Amino acid sequence: MEVHEGSCGPHMNGLMLTMKLMRLGYYWSTMETDCIKHVKHCHLCQVYADQIKAPPNELHPMAAPWPFSMWGIDVIGPINPKASNGHLFILVAIDYFTKWIEAITLASVTAKSVARFLKRDIIARYGVPATIITNHAKNLNYKIIDELCAKFKIQHRNSTPYRP
């Protein structure tokens, strides 16, 4: 269709294509469904169109009710080149309410080092949080972390994995 794919064709969606054809003086009874079908089969539209789709599940806001009650923890790295002390990783915690950040560098990320960070840099400084959110990384989900959360009655939740 020249209107859709021609040299000045903007590759518009099916409904816009229908309206454009009507403005040009064309009409047939199945025009709207034909235009939608044509756009769905247009190779360039399939390759370059926005891939905005509704999320598969309902999204829930993650609002912390008060400062230092909900922390998100993640690991950055390996960092290249190494730091001057030989550390390759940064363990980062961010408070969801204040956006305050605590971070340490590590040569390797182990469950023991994460538990030590939680006790020394989060719990000792800001009190026991109600919730800790991590991704599905093994070093953030070992038994020692679960035991620490059980000991201090912290709810440990995992975030949704990133899948581009």
Dig out the tokens for 89 from the structure: 């990783």
3-class secondary-structure state, position 138: helix
The tokens of 92 are what?
Answer: 């980062």
List CB contacts of 161: < 8 A, sequence separation 6 or more: 135, 136
* Backbone φ, ψ for residue 102 (5° rounding): -120, 140
What pTM, to 2 d.p., does this model score?
0.61
**How would you write the pLDDT of the chain (164 residues) with one tens digit per residue?**
666 666 556 667 777 777 887 888 888 888 888 888 887 887 777 777 766 666 666 767 777 889 999 999 998 988 888 888 889 999 999 999 999 999 999 998 888 898 999 999 999 999 999 999 988 776 677 788 888 899 999 998 887 765 54
Task: Enter the tokens of residue 59.
Answer: 């999204």
**Residue 147 token pair:** 């035991």
Domain borders along the chain are 1-53, 70-158
Q: Please state which CATH class domain 70-158 belongs to.
A: alpha beta
- 7 SS3 class: coil
Name the E strands within the chain: 70-76, 89-95, 101-106, 131-134, 155-158
74, 92 in Cβ contact below 8 A?
yes
Hey, what amino acid is at 110? T
The closest of 74, 76, 84, 160 to 114, measured between CA atoms, is: 74
